[in-house]
Structure 1
Amino acid sequence: MNAGKAAPSNGGSHPTQTVSKTSFTYTLDTLPPRQDPLLQFMVNLLMRDGKKATAERFVADMLADMAKLTNSDPLPLVYEAVELAKPILRMQSRKQGDRSISHRLAVEMLAVLEGNSSVLSRKDEAHKIGTVNRANASVRI
């Protein structure tokens, strides 16, 4: 969602008034929409133990701090920050099969006994690193 576009759920638009560079404070005319979907999402992420009012206060304080630091309307900046930080791809996990944990453990144990498990190579690598670092153990920085 771009910073200048309207919020889809409430049909309203973000405040697009030009604001003087001296200082920006919210007035009754420039308040962000109460049902802004991004702000509600942030409130729900911040909410702990059902304390929604506390989370709403955190978001309101964040908007006030951003307004003080930038001397402009913070809501488009929040939308732009989320747009820049969101992932490009959506990763979705899926099950790889119905093998049980006992079957996987049995296969791994047999692989260790045969000597072709990745666990053994990781163990050897950790041992090499420990051996190299043993020479530096007496040196204190």
Structure 2
Amino acid sequence: MASKLSPWGACRSLTIRTRSILQHAERKATAAPFHMARRGMADNTTSREPPSGSDGALPPSMAGKASAEQPHTSPRPEQFAPNWLNAEAIARLEQVAAGEDMYDNEEGLKFGVLSQLPGKHDHLQKRYPEVLDQVTKLLMRDGKLSKAQRDMAFILNFLRTSSAPKVSPLRPLLPGAPPAHTLPLDPVAYLTLAIDSVAPLLRIRSMKGMAGGGQALEIPEPMAARQRRRVAVQWILDAVNKKKSKGSGRSMFAHKMAEEIIAVIEGRSSVWDRRQTVHKLGTAARANLNHPALLAKRK
């Protein structure tokens, strides 16, 4: 049986394959050029290595042509990430190259001795601001501290990303408070200012039977800073619980809490009315401090 292949067909198929190989090679070409040579009627081309002498150098006749075809390129410098870790590592290597010790520590110690040891009452749990830690504990339910911490992180992030509040002149904040447009830059100060501004200065203590006839005697009593903040946070939580739910999810409570804090700064919260009521009762009950029953008890 005669073969169906012919020399002209073989040459044609070889030409087509060679062209496809060349097109693929041109797309993947790098900086090094190819040395091409044509053979016969076909477009077959192959890459050739430049001739070299016994010592690996080019002949004088090919030196000029090779320098024109292949320009000399300097090696690409090694790049390092611009951070302090790489800078410190390079500094250590330079010390070793100069014959110095890599670790400038005392003999026998891998790391240097601390200049100041932690105090007796310095604990890792107290690394957060006092107000932040107190509010987080008040947000905790059923002993789930991790959930309260997630809610507090959401609240601080909401305050940080929210727009600057508009302070109402009818509800002034604490004297010396930072400008309103700078509050989102420091969410911890934002939260502290809202709580301290709405915290009551005193509480009404009811003493049963002291007024005579079985009536209670109401006496105003000042509170410490931690007590004042606790009452303010409880008032804010009461206002948050009265709000309508915005949907399911564990972040809905934190979202409502953050909005209520912004409302406190802007003077729109109902907590301001509770604070004003307590102060009015305290002002009216100042006369009870000189009650005969109370003076006799003090003696």
The higher-RCO structure (CA 8 Å, 6+ apart) is: 1
TM-score, normalization by structure 1: 0.42
Q: Of the two, which has the highest radius of gyration?
A: 2
Q: TM-score, normalised by structure 2?
A: 0.21
